[in-house]
Structure 1
Amino acid sequence: MPGAPIEPPAEAPVPGRARPRGRTALLIAAAALLGISGGTAVGYGIQAERPPTPLPALSQAELAYPAKALPADKVPAPLPASQDHRVRTDGDLRKLIIDPPAGWSEDKDADWLDDGWMTVGGLARGYEDQAGMFEYFLESDIRRIAGAAWKKGEHREATITLTQFSSGPGAMAADYADGQRSYMADDAYAGNDGDLVEGSGEGRYYLYDVDREPGYLPSYQARAVVHRGDIMIEINLFDSRPISKKDIRTLAERQLERV
């Protein structure tokens, strides 16, 4: 009832023990320090009186080298360049870009390319966070970027970029490709999970929803993001008319096979 005294709980918590203070605390600390020092000194003394323990003898198993070199006719032939991925990707990267399909021609107005090469800054400028992507590319040990731009008719355009990294056995190319695919399902981009590029592992291609604005032709876009080894492949298609899945899938599969 109002005004009645409040009863303490039946099992009030027991306050913890206070730490020793003042002279008692100093004595305890001094005793602990002496105990540590004394134990260390005794340990060194016991160790010094013990006889030295001999080290085990060094031993090594016989190396598995052949007694003599293989005859010339038994030495395996090196892989041909068509099968050696390192030989192909260490050469002129521009030569790994597929030729334009029938009816397509080179877009000579593509000012983002210089003789088939693209700068790191040019690649970074294609993203909203330009500074962040530029830093990411440099930290990822980017090596070089080859590109191509095509056109067909008045409105259909295509771009291909091969972005090659130096460090790791394809780890950075895979990381870059995974990062690009991670946001493609957002409504601001393709708005879907895309379709798998056959034989690519995680590579996918996407069709965007049509973009319509009053006074402008409708805008259609398709994109493919794939990686193989140390190279990330990106393909984009643009048109004022619908783009089929076959259009972007065929380009992605051809380019993947070429790399």
Structure 2
Amino acid sequence: MSEPTPDAKAEATSEAAADPAPDAEPVVAPPRRVGRTVALIAVAAVLGIVAGTAVGYGIQAQRPPTALPALNQRDLAYPAKPLPKGKEPEPLSAAEDRGLKTEGDLRDLLLPKPKGAKSSPFAPRDNRLSITAYAATYDYPGAAFSSLLEDGIRRVVSTGWSNGEGRITEINLVQFRGGAGQPAAQRAEDQRGYLGDEDGAVVRLIEGSADGRAYLLPVRREAGRFDVYQARAVFHRGDVMVDIILSDVKKISEKEITSLAERQLERL
């Protein structure tokens, strides 16, 4: 028998590798560990940042403090020289500066009591109303008190009168801190949102105001009592919110509440 040639040996070896024996177990490569190198790099980067930050703070701490510039710098004065006497600008008038009126006695801006009207038993004698007393007019006095303080309430003045026939008028001027009047505007908006939720309320615009509204509320009826009609007007001017309440045992017309609100607006 002749020996197989080298080409025949190579062919047999190739066939054996391509077609393993049925009983041979498959060889499984070990799983590759992925992520270890990435984790090591991330840890090294974090350590580098921490070390760099510590070194930076150390260097900064060893440096002498840098002096700040003086606050009273001469070049910041305006004008550069005082104006000659007699040439100073005139102060703003009350029409030009809304805050000028409200910085004085706020009670002077309340509508006066009409002739023949009686003082309301609910109005304070000196027209000054404490924040606690004003908060007590809300449905939830405790929450109202906290909310008013958060809004920066400053003071409240109030007046009221009765015509002796069942009608009671109440006017509250509520002043807030904040300069631009934003707290007063927001408070007025909150009140209008509450009044607008009343079912059947009639809403009317207050002429001359940005977004003031007057409301004719639904009549309240109870067995054995007179019907109670109520109208409200809420608006703001500058840092003052105005809250007007009319109560009567007879119907209140739209003109009565809007006219009262417009006259109070003119005072501001």
**Cα distance, 1:82 vs structure 2:** 5.9
Bigger Cα displacement from structure 2, 117-126 vs 64-73:
64-73
**Cα distance, 1:34 vs structure 2:** 2.6
Match of 1:104 among 117, 124, 128: 117
The residue aligned with 2:236 is 227
**Would the alpha carbon gap of residues 187 and 30 (structure 1) be closer, same or farther in structure 2, given more than 3 Å must change?**
same
The one-letter code matched in structure 1 to 2:104 is: G
The residue aligned with 2:152 is 141
Say which one has the larger Rg: 2
The residue aligned with 1:239 is 248
The residue aligned with 1:85 is 98
1:202-259, CA deviations, whole angstroms, 9 ceiling, x for partnerless residues? 1011112222333222211111001011100011111111111111111111111111
Match of 1:182 among 193, 200, 204: 193
The residue aligned with 2:204 is 195
Distance in 1 between residues matched to 2:78 and 2:167, nearest whole Å: 61
**Would the alpha carbon gap of residues 183 and 200 (structure 1) be closer, same or farther in structure 2, given more than 3 Å must change?**
same
The one-letter code matched in structure 2 to 1:116 is: N
Contact persistence 1:208–1:220 (CA under 8 A): yes
**Would the alpha carbon gap of residues 201 and 72 (structure 1) be closer, same or farther in structure 2, given more than 3 Å must change?**
same
Contact persistence 2:206–2:212 (CA under 8 A): yes
Give the alignment's TM-score, normalised by structure 1. 0.73
Aligned length: 220
Aligned-CA RMSD value: 3.2
**Residue 210 of structure 1 pairs with residue 257 of structure 2:** no
**Cα distance, 1:168 vs structure 2:** 3.9
Contact persistence 1:166–1:230 (CA under 8 A): yes
**Would the alpha carbon gap of residues 140 and 35 (structure 1) be closer, same or farther in structure 2, given more than 3 Å must change?**
closer
Residue 195 of structure 2 aligns to a residue in which SS? coil
Distance in 2 between residues matched to 1:242 and 1:101, nearest whole Å: 20
Q: How does 1:97-136 map to 2 (within 5 A)?
A: 97-107=110-120, 109-110=121-122, 113-136=124-147
Contact persistence 1:82–1:88 (CA under 8 A): no
**Residue 151 of structure 1 pairs with residue 162 of structure 2:** yes
Residue 207 of structure 2 aligns to a residue in which SS? coil
Distance in 1 between residues matched to 2:182 and 2:267, nearest whole Å: 20
Residue 210 of structure 1 aligns to a residue in which SS? strand
Distance in 2 between residues matched to 1:167 and 1:39, nearest whole Å: 45
**Cα distance, 1:187 vs structure 2:** 3.2
Q: Between Structure 1 and Structure 2, which shows a larger proportion of helix residues?
A: 2
**Would the alpha carbon gap of residues 32 and 130 (structure 1) be closer, same or farther in structure 2, given more than 3 Å must change?**
same
**4+ residue stretches of structure 1 with deviation over 3 A?**
23-28, 35-42, 62-74, 80-84
**Would the alpha carbon gap of residues 237 and 40 (structure 1) be closer, same or farther in structure 2, given more than 3 Å must change?**
closer
Give the alignment's TM-score, normalised by structure 2. 0.71
1:187-206, CA deviations, whole angstroms, 9 ceiling, x for partnerless residues? 35x624x1111111010111
Residue 183 of structure 1 aligns to a residue in which SS? helix
Residue 209 of structure 1 aligns to a residue in which SS? strand
**Residue 255 of structure 1 pairs with residue 264 of structure 2:** yes
Distance in 1 between residues matched to 2:141 and 2:242, nearest whole Å: 20
Distance in 1 between residues matched to 2:222 and 2:264, nearest whole Å: 33
The one-letter code matched in structure 1 to 2:92 is: L
Contact persistence 2:230–2:252 (CA under 8 A): yes
**Cα distance, 1:81 vs structure 2:** 4.3
**Cα distance, 1:77 vs structure 2:** 1.5
Bigger Cα displacement from structure 2, 98-107 vs 175-184:
98-107
